[in-house]
């Protein structure tokens, strides 16, 4: 009997906190229900961890992709079609000039076109020493061209100059003219694709940039317009004046370059900046008014030498544009040009 009593006395007492009383019943009920909910709705309790892991994985993948893309563009200088499309979707800088960004996609568009022509039309292998030398030259040329277009766009914004859709379409239509009449749009697009690898939209983009640069060049070159005004005035005073002598005289008087030349026999619709078209409107020995070349190489005054049913022959005095090039060179000398790849 005594042994039984000792065993009863030695049994541990239930801790007060674990006893269920009228005061703690609500707490115990909630703890039991919470445990049950973990089994009934397990996803709710793991969702925050899944979301955190998904965000972490996504950020890691994005960082890896960006690093690989940066290496491909700026270190490996990958010029593939895929990387070009990437730079079209995600505008990436390849250089800057006077605070204006030069887009990587514009550089690749020019570079890939020149390489396409080199391989497809001149049949040059890029693996040969000559091919490698030409590729390096194309890189430098494409970079200069892209920088020049970006600089022209910057100046155009400051000068409130733009290219309208009608100007662009008018120029493109002029380019489709041939000795046999106007080439169809489909045929012309096929030729551009074959020679340069450009789609119609890419060709329009390139052309618009060139036209804008020309417009800016004409607007900012006050010396050239002053010199060609001198040429025009001299011809009006003496219609028979010698053009070759006149070019030398104007160059000496104005300090601006003036060039004399002759065309030889060329088609009336020759692709020469509109000079042949203007010559076809003249009579023999008649001189033109000042002509602004549509290819942006300067101002002209021409005199018709001879003409037949299909061709014209003329001489000219040309005053080239220099202000834009000089401004671009100055920006480079003043360290306003930053290149992000080595070319």
Summarised one tens digit per residue, pLDDT across range 304-319 is 999 999 999 999 999 9
320 pLDDT above the threshold of 90: yes
Does residue 30 carry a pLDDT above 80? no
Mean pLDDT of 169-182: 85
For position 21, what pLDDT does the model report?
63
Among the residue ranges 10-24, 168-182, 188-202, 256-270, the one predicted with the least confidence is 10-24
pLDDT over 90 at 36, yes or no: no
Predicted pLDDT at 13: 54
SS3 track for the chain: CHHHHHHHHHCCCCCHHHCCCCCCHHHHHHHHHHHHHHHHCHHHHHHHHHHHHHHHHHHHHHHHHHHHHHHHHHHCCCCCHHHHHHHHHCCCEEEEECCEEEEHHHHHHHHHHHHHHHHHCCCCCCCCHHHHHHHHHHHHHHHHHHHHHHHHHHHHHHHCCCCCHHHHHHHHHHHCEECCEECCHHHHHHHHHHHHCCCHHHHHHHHHHHHHHHHHHHHHCHHHHHHHHHHHHHHHHCCCCCHHHHHHHHHHHHCCCCEEEECCCEECCCCCCCHHHHHCCCCCCCECCCEECCCCCCEEEEEEEEECCCEEEEEEEEECCCHHHHHHHHHHHCCCEEECCCC
pLDDT at 181: 78
Mean pLDDT score, 82-87: 95
Mean pLDDT of 326-343: 96
Give the rounded percent of residues in the chain with a pLDDT score beyond 70.
Answer: 87
Mean pLDDT is lowest, of 38-52, 146-160, 284-298, for: 38-52
What's residue 34's pLDDT? 61
Mean pLDDT of the chain: 89
Q: What is the pLDDT of residue 340?
A: 97
Q: Is the pLDDT of residue 303 over 70?
A: yes
Which pLDDT score is estimated for 253? 93
Asked whether residue 39 carries a pLDDT value surpassing 60, the answer given is: no
Average pLDDT score over residue span 27-33: 65
Residue 339 reports pLDDT greater than 70 = yes
Please tell me the CATH code under which domain 81-220 is placed.
1.10.4030.10
Q: For residue 9, count other CB atoms closer than 10 A to its CB.
A: 7
pLDDT digits 0-9 by tens, 246-280: 999 999 999 999 999 999 999 998 889 999 999 99
DSSP bridge pairs for 315? 262, 303
The pLDDT score that the predictor gives to residue 56 is: 86
Kindly list the domain boundaries of the chain, sorted by start residue: 24-76, 81-220, 222-322
Angle at 108 between CA 210 and CA 194, to 5 degrees: 75
pLDDT at res. 191: 95
How sure is the predictor about 66, in pLDDT bands with cuts at 50, 70 and 90?
Answer: confident
Q: Is the pLDDT of residue 8 over 60?
A: no
């Amino acid at each position: 009997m005594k042994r039984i009593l000792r065993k009863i006395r030695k049994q541990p007492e239930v801790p007060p906190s674990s006893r269920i009383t009228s005061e703690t019943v609500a707490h115990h009920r909630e703890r039991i229900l919470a445990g049950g909910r973990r089994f009934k709705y397990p996803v709710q309790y793991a969702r925050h961890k899944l979301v955190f892991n998904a965000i972490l994985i996504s950020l890691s993948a994005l960082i890896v992709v960006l690093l690989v893309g940066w290496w491909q563009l700026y270190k490996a200088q990958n010029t593939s079609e895929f990387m070009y499309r990437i730079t079209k979707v995600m505008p990436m800088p390849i250089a800057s000039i006077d605070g204006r960004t030069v887009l990587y996609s514009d550089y690749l568009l020019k570079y890939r076109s020149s390489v396409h022509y080199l391989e497809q039309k001149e049949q040059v292998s890029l693996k040969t020493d000559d091919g490698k030398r030409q590729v390096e030259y194309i890189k430098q040329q494409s970079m200069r061209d892209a920088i020049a277009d970006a600089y022209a766009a910057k100046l155009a914004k400051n000068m409130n100059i733009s290219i309208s859709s009608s100007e662009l379409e008018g120029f493109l239509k002029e380019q489709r003219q041939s000795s046999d009449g106007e080439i169809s749009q489909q045929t012309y697009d096929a030729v551009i694709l074959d020679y340069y690898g450009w789609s119609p939209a890419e060709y329009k983009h390139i052309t618009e940039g060139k036209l804008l640069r020309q417009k800016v060049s004409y607007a900012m070159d006050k010396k050239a317009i002053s010199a060609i005004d001198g040429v025009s005035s001299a011809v009006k005073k003496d219609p028979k004046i010698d053009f070759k002598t006149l070019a030398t005289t104007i160059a000496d008087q104005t300090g601006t370059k003036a060039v004399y030349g002759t065309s030889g026999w060329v088609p009336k619709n020759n692709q020469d900046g509109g000079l042949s078209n203007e010559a076809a409107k003249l009579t023999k020995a008649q001189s033109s008014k000042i002509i602004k070349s549509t290819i942006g190489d300067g101002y002209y005054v021409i005199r018709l030498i001879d003409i037949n049913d299909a061709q014209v022959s003329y001489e000219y005095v040309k005053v080239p544009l220099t202000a834009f090039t000089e401004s671009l060179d100055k920006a480079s000398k003043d360290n306003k040009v930053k290149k992000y790849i080595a070319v």
